[in-house]
Amino acid sequence: MKRGTIKVSVLYPNGQGKTFDMDYYCNKHVPMVAGLLGDAVIGATVEKGLGGGAPNQEATYVAMGNIYFETVESFENSFGPNADKIMGDIPNYTNIEPVIQISEVLI
């Protein structure tokens, strides 16, 4: 991604009793979000947590989804009208309260 790109990260913290359906997330939720946000999205990644920083340590996050936009405004304008539908789908794949961060790509 180029410098100045906006990255919206959705992080799903790991923990006892937390569930996450990666198949649903990758094959249903992410394509739905991409369809709703349309051309505002310039890139996206999905990551599966494998481990922490120490040997045999659990991953801090079960999964991370990252969506890239040209500007904060393009994110807000595409996400805002679709927020209820996107957020409403979360219980279909997880019982985890996601952590969301908006960042600017520097390198």
Extract the tokens encoding 17: 């009793």
65's tokens: 């989804």
The full set of domains in the chain, from first to last, is 6-104 (3.30.70.100)
Query: Can you count the helices (H) and strands (E) in the chain?
Result: 4, 4
pLDDT, tens only, 77-100? 999 999 999 999 999 999 999 999
pTM above 0.85, yes or no: yes
Contact 78, 37 (CB under 8 A): yes
Q: Give 43-52's long-range contacts (Cβ < 8 A, gap of 24+).
A: 43/1, 43/5, 43/67, 43/68, 44/68, 48/22, 49/14
Residue 73 has, within 13 A of its CA and on its CB side, a CA count of 0
Interval 11-63: pLDDT, tens = 999 999 999 999 999 999 999 999 999 999 999 999 999 999 999 999 999 99
